[in-house]
Amino acid sequence: MNRKRGQAAMEFLMTYGWALLAIVIIGGLLWVYIGGKECGKSISGALGQNVAITDQKVLANGAITLVMENRAPDDVSVTSIAGTVVSVTLAKGGAAQQVTSAAGGITAGTAGNCYKEKAVAVVYSVTGGASHTLNLKASGTYE
């Protein structure tokens, strides 16, 4: 008689054990993909353009710094980042330069918190050419 009770208890634990394991795995995946504290630093939207963005950071006050490199056949003038006026010339064949917007260029946040897919518009023109706009998406941690 005790054997049957022990077998029933083991079957109960095994059945609910697998269900509990599945719930823990699903919960972990949801935490990572939706609300996890891991912030991946990335910027997208500049592929194939005359200006390359090699790095970025956003300060808690909303100022954004982009490391920009000129890949155009002539000098490039950057006139606006995230709606704030800047005046920077990237020399043809020159080294990458840091270009920073004024505070409030994008939504401010708390240092150490994540920002995801923040829209950043960069307006530039190649010497003697028309004005162009890069519509970038930035993600990372406020500094």
- DSSP characters over 29-59: HHIIIII-S----EEES-TTSSEEEEEEEE-
Q: 99 in helix, strand or coil?
A: strand
pLDDT at 36: 57
pLDDT in tens, 33-50: 776 556 778 787 777 678
pLDDT at 35: 64
**pTM value?**
0.68
Q: Are 121 and 137 in contact (CB under 8 A)?
A: no
Which residue type, as a one-letter code, is found at position 1?
M
pLDDT in tens, 7-28: 888 888 888 888 889 999 998 8
Q: What are phi and psi of 6, to 5 degrees?
A: -65, -40
Pick 141 or 39 by higher pLDDT: 141
pLDDT in tens, 69-102: 888 888 888 988 888 888 888 888 878 888 888 8
pLDDT at 3 > cutoff 60:
yes
